[in-house]
Chains A and B, each alone.
Chain A
């Protein structure tokens, strides 16, 4: 029997001990004495969240296909175990072998949201790895970061040895081969990092230097010696001929995503100006229908899951969605497997499909207009009109739905008070569609509309990367304006309003667009006890405020300041595909509320066509 890193007494005293015992269905078990490279993949949040992440599953499968490599997993210990591990000096361990992380060659950490940064430090700390990369010795793992947050890695640059910029399927094997040969020839950690810096897509922050001018702006950023000046984002060109796990791991406890995930495409054609994902994953690339059909069946068979979920941005844009869903409805129906639909653009087709796989009485229809007026939706390039929303809602009402969810953001650039007021007015119009057109006899109770607003955070590599974030007070003012306007609406009683917390978002703004100087704040916040900041119950703004005071970092400089378009941004050294010129052009069009057509309508010369794949090739062939 396998020996566990935690004694029974500890497992009996903590919440959900199954988070730490590993040995799940389809987890890979290898003889650790027969591999050359031990890689531990980390999602710096609790197990149930981390186990829901597709990216790790893909890389886990990809690494473990190599005979010379054993890839395992680790997640953030929950605060109950965290306290015990610190008290009893138990080193953090991988769930598979239960071996200490410190004994691994690599610790790969996926960075999916900025609010996980203190958890990154927790994982390093509990592992006994020096928090600062500069202090790490030969016997410590190489710490490598990946995921969407690395499109501005600078705030956490001090904690990482390497960042992998882009899609993991491309150059990881090359990195592992390089590591193996350098290790075999007796090379040092520094030898490897230097070699790694010459692999396209890998950024070794210690090999770069930054200088600031008297205003605090970056005056120079560049490699210290022969490292490349620009780091090029890695892109998979053929998504139907690449790694994808046929046997994903099935956790014993319920994960957030308790289902098979089928990634149907990567990227997005829409070009919403607030959306980082829509920019950094360009161009849109579809997986073939045959690939998806086969994988859907294989994964259901190998896991025993009772639900399958399609994953992508703007799923309605997948060109063979109709064929895929028809196949899945029949095939999964026979197997008693539920289909969890992605958010679809509400039209006749979507409603037909939804009606087939969900209980109309219980489910809701969702719109994400993100802006309350047509002007605002033009500013953010959200190609959704009021007419489309009202027609879609009415069609749904006629088919029996009576729950509508609406998502908006407050504080996007160029937003006026009338745009804020437009949100409840739009919600009220939807309610009117219901009461005016659905006869009382056929109504299924009252219409229930839920409006949610989040606090907009400008992100790198979006047209709004130069824009100021509004202050928390201003956000709260707009929230109150929205609420009071809502109260004046005829159908106010049918509309529920939820808003997002302001502290988390302003901090996210700091972490998203900060530079290397922000690293000190993260370290100090962690020292103050900040952890699980993405969890409302655990987030404590006071700890961050103390950290800002102690480090003397001015948060407003990073969040509220509008940048000039010729300023050196901390992330400028990354070539993400979309050019700075394109982003600036889009920012300008936003200012003038001019809509830009999507990739399938017309190429906007964003810069991503150099990869010669996906939609860029589709349109050219037409």
Chain B
């Protein structure tokens, strides 16, 4: 039996790296004494997979992992037992049984399912140049109306100019309607049409700031295309005419999606 578990990561534990998060949950499961499946060999390890690594410093309400169990478990019991073993900074949100895969086939890995992730990006207090709400709204419209949004995308070895516009699936200011390529306002503007299954507001574990300024963006994520939300922020700052300082923004992952044309939360 495989369970897909959704959890939040926040506060001081934003500074725990992805590999350490995996190690952490292996210990949570051991302390909760849950009957999970182990690999064979001299050093058996738990069969556990994660959806999409979160960058250091980013909080999230939408982290996902899958765990294989050796026996049938009531997901609400698993939820409860794991909750009893997690510390402040992690919260188990939900636990769902995955349908059995037909004999002879393999389930698609959680990691390869991921197609997009949505973030809330907040201006932190204590830094210069917090724009007004109107300025942010206006900049988003101007940015997204452009035919292309070319940024410098750097990997460990190379830096290349990339048009990230096709990989921004929607972008919006608080209270605004979602801006997406399917929006009639953007008729004729190139972009890949995506339909969202539902509106989301998963910001329970995000840090809040006095200035209240923020925007939301959904970008392509996962193994096929991956756009760091920081790139969008940088482009937005350029549109605003302000210097981009990565430390001046708090990033919070609101949802991780699967699907191509129709994006649905990994949870569903």
Docked Cα-Cα span, A357 to B44, in Å, equals: 11
Q: B45 interface residue, CB < 8 Å from A?
A: yes
| Inter-chain contact B31/A338, CB cutoff 8 Å | no
Report the interface size for chain B: residues with CB under 8 A from the other chain.
32
User: Looking at the complex, which one of B12, B20, B33 makes contact with A253 (CB distance below 8 Å)?
Assistant: B20
User: Looking at the complex, which one of B12, B17, B29, B44 makes contact with A2 (CB distance below 8 Å)?
Assistant: B12
Report the interface size for chain A: residues with CB under 8 A from the other chain.
33
Shortest distance between the CB of B128 and any CB in chain A (Å):
13
The 8 A CB mask of B15-33 against A (1 = contact, 0 = none) is 1110010011011111101
Shortest distance between the CB of B134 and any CB in chain A (Å):
27
Binds B, one of A300-308, A372-380, A566-574: A300-308
Q: A336 interface residue, CB < 8 Å from B?
A: yes
Shortest distance between the CB of B54 and any CB in chain A (Å):
13
Q: B131 interface residue, CB < 8 Å from A?
A: no
Q: A358 interface residue, CB < 8 Å from B?
A: yes
Q: A9 interface residue, CB < 8 Å from B?
A: yes
Q: A23-B87, A23-B88 are in contact. Are A18 and B17 (CB under 8 A)?
A: yes
Docked Cα-Cα span, A250 to B31, in Å, equals: 12
Docked Cα-Cα span, A21 to B16, in Å, equals: 9
Which residues of chain A have C-beta atoms less than 8 A from B15's C-beta?
11, 17-18, 21
B residues 89-133 in Cβ contact with A at 8 Å: 89, 124
| Inter-chain contact B42/A8, CB cutoff 8 Å | no
Q: A4 interface residue, CB < 8 Å from B?
A: yes
| Inter-chain contact A2/B11, CB cutoff 8 Å | yes
| Inter-chain contact A23/B12, CB cutoff 8 Å | yes
| Inter-chain contact B42/A18, CB cutoff 8 Å | no
**Total A-B residue pairs with C-beta atoms closer than 8 Å?**
79
Interface SS of A by simple majority: loop
A residues 317-362 in Cβ contact with B at 8 Å: 335-336, 338, 357-359
Docked Cα-Cα span, A254 to B43, in Å, equals: 17
Which residues of chain B have C-beta atoms less than 8 A from A300's C-beta?
30
Docked Cα-Cα span, A17 to B89, in Å, equals: 15
User: Looking at the complex, which one of A21, A306, A338 makes contact with B30 (CB distance below 8 Å)?
Assistant: A306
Q: A25 interface residue, CB < 8 Å from B?
A: yes
A residues 249-269 in Cβ contact with B at 8 Å: 250, 252-254
Which residues of chain B have C-beta atoms less than 8 A from A253's C-beta?
16-17, 20
A residues 34-68 in Cβ contact with B at 8 Å: none
Residue of B nearest to A357 (CB): B42
User: Looking at the complex, which one of A1, A254, A357 makes contact with B20 (CB distance below 8 Å)?
Assistant: A254
Minimum-distance CB pairs A-B, first 10: A304-B27, A304-B30, A17-B15, A304-B31, A9-B247, A21-B12, A359-B42, A1-B11, A12-B57, A336-B44
Interface residues of A (CB under 8 A from B): 1-2, 4, 8-9, 11-13, 16-18, 21-25, 250, 252-254, 300-306, 335-336, 338, 357-359
Interface residues of B (CB under 8 A from A): 11-13, 15-17, 20, 23-24, 26-31, 33, 38, 41-45, 56-57, 85, 87-89, 124, 246-247, 250
